[in-house]
Structure 1
Amino acid sequence: MSADLPGHTAQLLHQCQGLILDIGPGTGEVLSRFDASKITAIYGAEPTADLHEGLRKNAEKTGLGQKYHVLRCGGEPESLYPALHKAGVLNPEAAAATFDEICCIRVLCGVPEPAKTIRGLYALLKPGGRLVVCEHVVNPWKTEGRFVARALQWVYSVMGWPFFMGGCELQRDTEDYLRRGGVWKRVSLGYVEPETTIPFIVGELIKTDDY
């Protein structure tokens, strides 16, 4: 499932270039989607230390090798910022617009404070930088989704989905959090399989040049 990417996620990852922040990469099953020749360096924020060995091995296998730097931290500012400072990427005094691209692939469903996390990531993007997302979200039943699928999301959540799935939230309106998380020059997000119980939004958000 980790390697299977909905919609045009693979194409978005292949376009990534420059200095990249990879949030919640797990064991790096999607690293093969990047084009190593376009990348200066990638910093992977992965809080689960048991996954780091697999992450490093996949970085080697996909040609990223010394370009991929594993950080033991989450995506929330209080965890991410100190780790980036320790790695010599970030000034300890304040968040700096540092990264050309930030990738969030099936990770924002599980962060404790999504609004705060997204604002923190926005601050790390350079002006004109790109946030690439592939996230499962609350079913858009009022527009292009289905009421039955939305109802099932509620049922599964009540039955303990977040508990059994490591804090994953089925009913999170991540698109709204993303749109309100910063000042964007362009937002290009679309639903993949909106009629299902686990629909995704896939796309990119480009930070305005003025921030």
Structure 2
Amino acid sequence: MEFPGWVTDLRPLILLSMSLYHFCATLFEIIVLERSPSKALKLADVRLRSFARLWTAKGEDMSIEMPGPLTELLQQCHGTVLDIGPGSGEILPRFDASKISAMYGAEPAEALHPGLIKNARKHGFGNKYHALLCGGEPESLIPALAKSGILSSSGTGGTAENGIFDEICCVRVLCGVPHPQQTIKGLYTLLKPGGRMVICEHVVNPWRTEGSIGARIAQLVYTLMGWPFFMGGCELQRHTEIWLKEAAEPQGWDKFDLQYVGPTYAIPFVVGELRKKL
């Protein structure tokens, strides 16, 4: 269903309100039900737990409609796949498990892992799915991959320099990693020559070209209202498509096919695929 632009720009406000509710509910659980007020002082943990609570409640609903040709791109994934930030596995049904020999899901929210593993089994991955308790940033991801056995070293060299993944999927996750440029460069290194990255990320509104100045202002307003704090570190104004292009410099990508979806909205996406040169 297609919504008018002004309605779509209000949808983030609804999501922000829900996130605020789950943040307050998380504090109530910690302070009143668990009687551990000292835990409430660890805001990073509270935010992660709060966002996991929100995603457990609404993640499936928020994954029913995905922008652009994402489903078709995910269905083509094959071989050894790295999925960054899979949450509790809401997009796993969009993959063809028969084409995948091994899949690694890097998810930093431990509370989401039971649902992630359950969904992996439900959708035919079985023992082929490996849930990693880590983020997408190299300092977190590389040790977790080494622990899983797919990397021979926990450093950034060795096997990782030549690439180990046929496909790397980033679906609504690069908006929240702490060091996006470093993280994207690290993911590029982990990709095999000829390997593919599938991208579906919301970005800063391209108001100077095909976007909307009203939507760009809405992004600023939502940010000032606390979007990054209450939404697990998610940023609305990242230049992800530029950083993706820079990650392959100086040789460049063999294929760089990203398109805007909803460029006039407060949360526009770039969706597409990138292929690493042989």
Aligned to 1:53: 114
Deviation readout 1:150-207 (Å, 9 max, x if unpaired)? 0110111112111111111001111111111113111000000101000000001100
The equivalences for 1:73-92 within 5 A come to: 73-92=134-153
State whether structure 2 residue 259 is matched by structure 1 residue 193: no
SS in 2 for 1:75: coil
Give the length in aligned residue pairs: 209
CA distance in 2: counterparts of 1:179 and 1:91, whole angstroms: 28
4+ runs deviating over 3 angstroms: none
Deviation readout 1:15-54 (Å, 9 max, x if unpaired)? 0000000100000000000001100000000011110000
Q: Can you give the 5+ residue segments of structure 2 that lack an aligned partner in the other structure?
A: 1-61
Aligned to 1:2: 63
Aligned to 1:138: 204
1:15 pairs with one of 76, 98, 101:
76
CA distance in 1: counterparts of 2:241 and 2:143, whole angstroms: 27
State whether structure 2 residue 175 is matched by structure 1 residue 109: yes
Instruction: Tell me the TM-score normalised to structure 2 length.
Output: 0.74
The equivalences for 1:141-156 within 5 A come to: 141-156=207-222
Q: Can you give the 5+ residue segments of structure 1 that lack an aligned partner in the other structure?
A: none
CA distance in 1: counterparts of 2:225 and 2:93, whole angstroms: 35
2:104 pairs with one of 43, 63, 71:
43
The equivalences for 1:110-129 within 5 A come to: 110-129=176-195
Q: Which amino acid aligns with 1:32?
A: P
CA distance in 2: counterparts of 1:81 and 1:4, whole angstroms: 32
Which structure shows the higher strand fraction?
1
State whether structure 2 residue 253 is matched by structure 1 residue 184: yes
Please tell me whether Structure 1 or Structure 2 has the larger radius of gyration of its CA atoms.
Answer: 2
1:127 to partner: Cα distance:
0.3
The equivalences for 1:53-72 within 5 A come to: 53-72=114-133
CA RMSD between the two structures: 0.8
CA distance in 2: counterparts of 1:55 and 1:29, whole angstroms: 8
Which structure shows the higher helix fraction?
2
Q: Which amino acid aligns with 2:97?
A: A
CA distance in 2: counterparts of 1:166 and 1:139, whole angstroms: 20
CA distance in 1: counterparts of 2:81 and 2:103, whole angstroms: 5
Aligned to 2:274: 205
Q: Which amino acid aligns with 1:65?
A: G
1:91 to partner: Cα distance:
2.2
CA distance in 2: counterparts of 1:201 and 1:38, whole angstroms: 25
CA distance in 2: counterparts of 1:3 and 1:49, whole angstroms: 23
Q: Which amino acid aligns with 1:194?
A: P
